[in-house]
């Protein structure tokens, strides 16, 4: 069993990290509105919070960090806001890719390619290719992602294999289904954090979070910092994870 966090010699809390943390980054627009700013400025500050979260994940030796960057439902937002979000993704890759690569970050994207413009997809593909050999932190970006669509796509893929005579229906189990998802090869999140005070999954990692611990924070995403991240991990370690059993168990 992994050790819970203990005070270090200098009184600081030595955090044993969960292996995989997933974050629903919520509240950019409300953060901006409360300050009398346009929503676009809230999204820009949200990118700064992403940079802080990645640095903190590396510092805490978290192995996987998954962030919900753009949902498949976000296309319903005003065109100007969607265009701005796409532009922010492009600028994030162009500005941060070299630094992320130098830091040993492996970038992985989950979600659909449809509707995403060619320039952005090219940047995404280049980032994934450049960093695929890194192993310090795997940064999973859920972009144009929706969990129900992901599960339906996986089921359709398995059904096609059955129809083609390549797969026995009896062989479809939890493991085979997981392998058909976008997150194949990535361990399920131990901890899911959502900012802004909302308490729902919003079509994010519905299959993968079956036994994740959820921590909901009142702060908006632009205010999420190292202290908030560490606080969520402290809360994670206060939970008893039994996975349906009677005794506490950890996968870390």
Q: Which residues are catalytic?
A: 26, 74
205: alpha, beta or left, given left = phi > 0 and alpha = psi -120 to 50?
left
Three-state DSSP string of 103-166? CCEEEEEECCCCCCCHHHHHHHHHHHHHHCCCCCEEEEEEEEECHHHHHHHHHHHHHHHHHCCC
Phi and psi torsions of 64, nearest 5°: -130, 135
Bridge partner list, 215: 193
**How is residue 222 annotated by DSSP?**
G
The structure tokens 């599960």 sit at 151
């Amino acid at each position: 069993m992994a050790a819970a966090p203990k005070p270090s010699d200098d009184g600081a809390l030595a955090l044993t990290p969960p292996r995989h943390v997933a974050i629903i980054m919520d509240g950019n627009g409300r953060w901006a509105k409360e300050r009398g700013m346009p929503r676009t400025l809230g999204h820009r500050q949200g990118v700064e919070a992403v940079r802080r979260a990645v640095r903190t994940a590396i510092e805490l030796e978290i192995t996987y960090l998954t962030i919900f960057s753009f949902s498949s439902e976000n296309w319903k937002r005003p065109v100007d806001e969607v265009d701005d979000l796409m532009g922010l993704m492009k600028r994030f890759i162009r500005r941060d890719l070299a630094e992320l690569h130098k830091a040993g970050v492996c970038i992985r994207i989950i979600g659909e390619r449809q509707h995403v413009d060619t320039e952005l997809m090219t940047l995404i593909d280049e980032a994934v290719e450049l960093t695929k050999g890194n192993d310090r932190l795997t940064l999973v970006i859920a972009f144009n992602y929706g969990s129900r669509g992901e599960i339906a796509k996986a089921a359709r893929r398995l059904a096609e294999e059955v129809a083609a005579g390549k797969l026995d229906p009896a062989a479809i189990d939890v493991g085979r289904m997981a392998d058909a998802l976008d997150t194949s090869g990535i361990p399920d999140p131990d901890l899911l954090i959502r900012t802004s005070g909302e308490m729902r999954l919003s079509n994010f990692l519905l299959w993968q979070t079956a036994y994740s611990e959820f921590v909901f924070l009142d702060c908006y995403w632009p205010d999420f910092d190292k202290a908030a991240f560490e606080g969520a991990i402290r809360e994670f370690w206060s939970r008893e994870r039994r996975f349906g059993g009677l005794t506490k168990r950890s996968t870390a």
